[in-house]
């Protein structure tokens, strides 16, 4: 889990370099830079770097760092059987 959150944190920071505060608390509502472009980049970055495919529901539910971590965990579990 820590490995996933560390990796995910690096992705979030790289994709929203101007955002401040603890990454673990970043949400769509409290980040001014969480726009549609960031959202699209985040989807691609997660899929490329964790080698998973997000579902349509995942994409809708991807509204915070915490949610992203949960989604990635779930997809990794599905992928690894």
Partner 1 sequence: MLLREALRLARFAKLNETKVSLLCSFEPLHLKTYLQATLAERLPGRTPEVVTFGYDQLREGLDATASQLKLFPALLCLSWEDLHPALSWRGRGKDRVETSLLAEGEARLKNDLTRWLQARQGSESYVVLPPPRYLPLLDSCSPMAMGTLAVEASALMWEVAREVSREGGRLLNLPSCELDYRELLLSGCPLSPERSEVIARRFVEVAFLIRARKKALVVDLDGTLWSGVIGEDGPDGLHCRPDGKGHPFHVFQEFLVKLKGEGILLAFCSKNNPDDVLPFLDGMDMPLALSDFAAYRCNWDLKSDNLRAIAAELNIRYDAVVFIDDDPLELAEVRERLPEVVTFRTPQEGREWLALFESLQDLFAAWQVSEEDRLRSERLADERRRAASIVAELPRQGPAAGATPYWCLRDMQLEVTLAADAFEDPRSLELINKTNQFNLTGERFLQHEWATWAETPGAFCWSAKLRDRFGEFGMVCVATGVLDAGRSVCLRQLVLSCRAFGRGVEFVVLSELARQTGCMWVRIPLRDTGRNEPAKRFIQGLGCRVESDGHWLISGREAVAAGETLILQTDLGVRSALRASRPSAGQGRRG
Of 25 and 53, which has the nearer Cβ to partner 1?
53
Query: Rg of the Cα trace of the chain?
Result: 12
| CB proximity list for 11: less than 8 A, separation 6 or greater | 42, 45, 46, 49
CB of 64 to partner 1, least distance (A): 19
Q: Find the binding residues for partner 1 in span 13-42 (CB under 8 A).
A: 14-15, 17, 36-37, 40-41
Please choose, from the candidates 57, 52, 37, the residue with its C-alpha nearest in 3D space to the C-alpha of residue 7: 52
> What are the residues binding partner 1 (CB under 8 A)?
11, 14-15, 17, 36-37, 40-41, 43-45, 48-49, 56, 59
């Amino acid at each position: 889990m820590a490995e996933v959150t560390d990796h995910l944190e690096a992705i979030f920071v790289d994709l929203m370099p101007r955002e401040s505060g603890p990454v673990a608390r970043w949400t769509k509502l409290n980040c001014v830079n969480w726009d549609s472009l960031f959202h699209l980049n985040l989807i691609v970055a997660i899929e490329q770097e964790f080698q998973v495919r997000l579902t349509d529901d995942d994409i809708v539910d991807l509204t915070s760092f915490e949610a992203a971590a949960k989604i990635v965990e779930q997809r990794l579990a599905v992928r690894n059987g």
